[in-house]
Amino acid sequence: MSGKVLMKGNEAFAEAAIRGGCRYYFGYPITPQNEIPEYMSRELPKCGGSFIQAESELCAINMAYGAGLSGGRVFITSSSPGIALMQEGFSLMSSAEVPCVAMNVSRCGPGIGGIQPGQADYIQATRGGGNGDYKIPVFAPSSIQEGADLIYEAMELADKWRNPIFIFTDGIMGQMMEPVVLPDMLSDEDIMAIRKKNEAWAVTGRKGAAESHRVRCGARPGVPRTNLEAKNRADWEMYEQWKVDEVEYESYKTDDAELIITSYGISARISRSAVDILRKDGYKAGLVRPIKVHPFPEIAYEQLDYSKLRGILCVEMSIPPQFMYDVDAVVRKRAPIATCLRSGGEIMARSAIIESAKELYGSK
C-alpha cells in the first residue's frame, strides 16, 4: 500500500485500475467522468498499457470486448447515456465469458438529463439493459477509498468469474477530492502471470487458438456451445454462487434500532451521518448499506428485528424510486417503508433524511 494521498475520485479510480493490472482502456468523453480517460491517456502508457479514445461508446465497448478476448485486464468507463449505449456489448461479453471491469460515473435524469450527479441508473445497473439471459455483479462504493478498493478487487473477480464486473458510482464521488490509500501496484511479472493463466481460454494468435476459444468461450466447463439452454443453466449456477461469495453490506447501529435507514453509494454516506445525529436526538436509528447491490444482500434485511421496527426509510437520488423496490421485495410488508428522494441533479440533503426519519419514527 502507498501512503495516504489527496486525489479526485475519478483519478483515484483510474489509478486503482492500473494498479490492479488494467493495461487496456477504451473511452469516450462524457461528463462527469472525463478525468478518467484523461488520466489513463497520460498514465497507462507509462506502464506499457494501451489507451484508445474511441469515436463513440459503441466503439469503446466493442474494443473492450476484443481486448478482453486476448486475456488482458480491461477497464472501461462512461456516464449514464454512454453506459446505455454499451448495453449490448455487456450482454455479449457476459454470454461469451469475457472479463472486464466497467464503471458508471452516473449523472441525473430524466432521460439524457444533465451533467449533475444522480442514482437514476440503479435498475439499468442491477438488471442490465442488454438482451438475453445474463447478469453482472454490481458494486456501489460510498467513498473514494472504497471505490478504489472495489475496482482493485473487481479486476481479480472479473478473471475469476470470466464475466464483466460493474462499478456503480456517481458524479459526486467522481468530482470530489479526499484522502485515499492506493492499493499496491501489480508487478510486470504479476501481469505476465495473469496473461499466461488466461491463455487457457484467450484468443492469443497462436495456431488453433481462435477455434479453441470459439468452442470453449460461451460454454462453462462441460457445456457444449451449441446447447444454449445448458449454457444458461450453467450461468444460473454461477449467479447463485455469487449469492454466497459476492454478497457484501454494512450494518451500522442496527442491533437495537427501532428505525432503519437504508441506502447505497453517496446517499448512504449522507445517511450514515444522519443516523449519528438521530441517535444524539434520542432516536434509535440504524443503517443498512448494500456495498454490492447485485447480488442484493437479502440477509442484511432478514437479520433485522422486525418486532422492534417502526419503519424502514429508503434514501436514494432517483424519482420515482428504484432501490426501494429491491428493499420492499425482501421486507415483504414486515415493516412500513417510506422514501426520501431527490432527483434532477439535486443532491440528497441530510436534513431531509432526518426530517423523513423522524416523521416515520413517530408514525407507529
Average pLDDT over residues 228-239: 93
Query: What is the chain's mean pLDDT, rounded?
Result: 93
Q: Does position 122 have pLDDT exceeding 70, yes or no?
A: yes
Distances (CA, A) of 106 to 102, 152, 245, 294, 345: 12, 20, 26, 17, 10
Alpha carbons 40 and 148: distance in angstroms, whole number? 15
- The string of pLDDT tens digits covering residues 83-120 is 999 999 999 999 999 999 999 999 998 988 899 999 99
Q: Lowest mean pLDDT: which of 110-124, 143-157, 214-228?
A: 214-228
- The string of pLDDT tens digits covering residues 24-71 is 999 999 999 999 999 999 999 999 999 999 999 999 999 999 999 999
Which is more confident, 231 or 244? 244
Helix (H) or strand (E) run with residue 127 in it: helix 122-127
> Residue 170 in contact with residue 106, Cβ under 8 Å?
yes
> Residue 29 in contact with residue 37, Cβ under 8 Å?
yes
- The string of pLDDT tens digits covering residues 38-50 is 999 999 999 999 9
**Predicted pLDDT at 363:** 60
Q: What is the pTM of this model?
A: 0.94
Spell out the domains of the chain, with CATH numbers in brackets: 4-245 (3.40.50.970), 249-361 (3.40.50.920)
Tracing cell 476459444 back to the chain, one arrives at 213
Helix (H, G, I), strand (E, B) or coil at 335: coil
- The string of pLDDT tens digits covering residues 336-347 is 999 999 999 999
- The string of pLDDT tens digits covering residues 251-302 is 999 999 999 999 999 999 999 999 999 999 999 999 999 999 999 999 999 9
Q: Does position 207 have pLDDT exceeding 80, yes or no?
A: no
**Predicted pLDDT at 208:** 59
Tracing cell 428504484 back to the chain, one arrives at 322
Q: Does position 176 have pLDDT exceeding 80, yes or no?
A: yes
Average pLDDT over residues 1-14: 91
